Structure 1
Amino acid sequence: MAVRDWEIYDIFTLAEKTEASVSEEIPRTKGTLFLSTKQVAQRSGLDGFRTSGAMKALFPRTEEVQAILINTSGGLTGGDQLDIEACAGTNSALSLTTQAAERAYRAQSGVARVTTNLRVQSGAELNWLPQELILFQGAALQRSLAIRLEEDARVLMIEPVVFGRTAMGETITELSFRDRVSITRAGRPVYRDGLDMTGDATAQLARRAVAQGAKAMASLVYIAPDAEAHLPVLRQMLNDTSGVSLKSADLLVGRLLASDSFELRKMLLPILDRLSSDRLPTSWRL
């Protein structure tokens, strides 16, 4: 039996609609995590904890509360959303790290978003120590980190970023990356940082005023009464393309640049060991 033209048209129209519908319904990673600590008999203990979706956490047996954050999806791509919230309660200590490097892969459509909000109450200490974020060709990521401290709280923050894997010969000629960091103490801003990089990241990083060809970088912030005492020692640990400064008697900030993730990590490990009083999470050494 002959097939009429309008029947052929309907068949193709139905196929196009089905393809579009499938595309719109592609599962995306969603994950949330909330964690808080409190002082328990001169030690720190969990006060609250809940997760959903792709966000999970492991808790090694340590003197303080140490949480290893895990994105079970294995990476980030367009449309993904992770939300992290944590609070170090009064006179408690909390360290947050990741199981391994986070990866931002090519986005077919949309943008991946990661939002982190941290609070550090009076007399508390918080270490924000994620391992490297690795950006792959075609990644599209918007990330924000906000830390709110009380007047006498302490914080150690590191944010390492790697632009492609040098050992694999990767170059990043297509990228959309927006990063924001904000730290306030008693409601006053003490540190703000931002990075917007779109297009050919390799070419931009090659510029002398940007990174002089470095493919890995990290932002470092340490707020504690002994910050000034660490300054001369930390300067001896840095390479020629990194720097650290004292913004006030208890506020130390640094920017580290390295040729690749291996060189960055070699520089970071002794620095973080020192600033964390040799309490750097074990996952950093695996």
Structure 2
Amino acid sequence: MGALMLSSKARGTVSAIDGFRTQGCMKALFPRRRDGVEAIVINTSGGLTGGDRLSLHGTAGAGSRLVLTTQAAERAYRSASGWARVETRLEAATGARFDWLPQELILFEGARLQRMLRADLAADARMLLVEPVIFGRHAMGEVLRDVGFRDRIEIWRGGAPLYFDALRMEGDLQAQMTRAAVGGGAGAMACIVYVGPEAEGLLRPLRALLPETGGASLVRPDVLVARVLACDGYALRQTLLPALDRLCEDRTGEGLPISWRL
């Protein structure tokens, strides 16, 4: 069991921590960042299994920037009984920016995981979100024949739905990902969402960084969505690093959090 609550606020031209509380296995580190509050979320239990419950609530206060990432890839292990559940709530107030940048989720044989993420944005708030998933460790020869994975992402703006995405995969994931209409044999995937007035201008640069197994489009003039398939986690990361660097970059020239490069 674990919970983490973190909020940021604007202090002049910089962002600062406004509130912070952790419980159970959830901890955080705070590297220095020139143009925002950056937190590295750590699950000290080492992974997820049946019966685990994690919750995270992050709030970027008015005019501030909050960047949340993870120390390493999260692991969903075999479940002897029940499902692991992860609930994430993100909020960005007027003039704020929220970057949700967790590293990969690795699914292991026998895993049972339900995730729910909801983001609520003010009308002029910005958001960058990525969710990478790896279907077993390719280098270890792992094959997923019995896995339950349910994932839901909701982004709301001004109280109205902006972007919904739901995924449900159960049973033989190896067979499902082999299907051309599902994964074409891919062993890893990622979803990227950028919300902000720069979205249209970022479309062409982002497309130039994606492989043939990736694509990006504008679902609204200020909402950019990309999806990427890769043969394994290494190939996926080769795509995500330059793509997210481009989307993360701010006026100080800072890109992805350092934990992504360790």
The alignment's TM-score, normalised by the length of structure 2, stands at: 0.97
Larger Rg: 1
Q: Identify the residue that residue 136 of structure 2 maps to in structure 1.
A: 164
Count of residues paired in the alignment: 257
Q: Which amino acid in the other structure matches residue 259 of structure 2?
A: S
In proportion to residue count, which structure has more helix?
Answer: 1
Equivalence map 1:83-98=2 (5 Å): 83-98=55-70
Q: Does 1:275 align with 2:228?
A: no
Q: Identify the residue that residue 145 of structure 1 maps to in structure 2.
A: 117
Equivalence map 1:15-94=2 (5 Å): 30-63=1-34, 64-94=36-66
Residue number among 244, 251, 254 corresponding to 2:226 in the alignment: 254
Counterparts of 1:282 and 1:173, CA distance in 2: 34
Counterparts of 2:173 and 2:219, CA distance in 1: 30
| Deviation string, structure 1 residues 142-181 (Cα, Å, up to 9, x no partner) | 0010000000000000000000000111100000110000
Q: Does 1:232 align with 2:204?
A: yes
Aligned residues with identical type, % of pairs: 57
Counterparts of 2:212 and 2:178, CA distance in 1: 16
* Structure 2 unaligned regions, length at least 5: none
Counterparts of 1:247 and 1:209, CA distance in 2: 21
Q: Which amino acid in the other structure matches residue 70 of structure 1?
A: I
User: Cα distance, 1:279 vs. partner?
Assistant: 2.2
Q: Which amino acid in the other structure matches residue 279 of structure 1?
A: G
Q: Which of structure 1's runs of 4+ aligned residues deviate more than 3 A?
A: none
Counterparts of 2:127 and 2:156, CA distance in 1: 11
Bigger relative contact order (CA 8 A; separation at least 6)? 2
Partner-residue secondary structure (3-state), 1:32: strand
Q: Which amino acid in the other structure matches residue 53 of structure 1?
A: G
* Structure 1 unaligned regions, length at least 5: 1-29
| Deviation string, structure 1 residues 78-136 (Cα, Å, up to 9, x no partner) | 00000000100000000000000000000000110000000000000000000000000
Counterparts of 2:41 and 2:89, CA distance in 1: 14
* Cα-Cα RMSD: 0.6
Counterparts of 2:69 and 2:185, CA distance in 1: 28
Counterparts of 1:242 and 1:272, CA distance in 2: 14
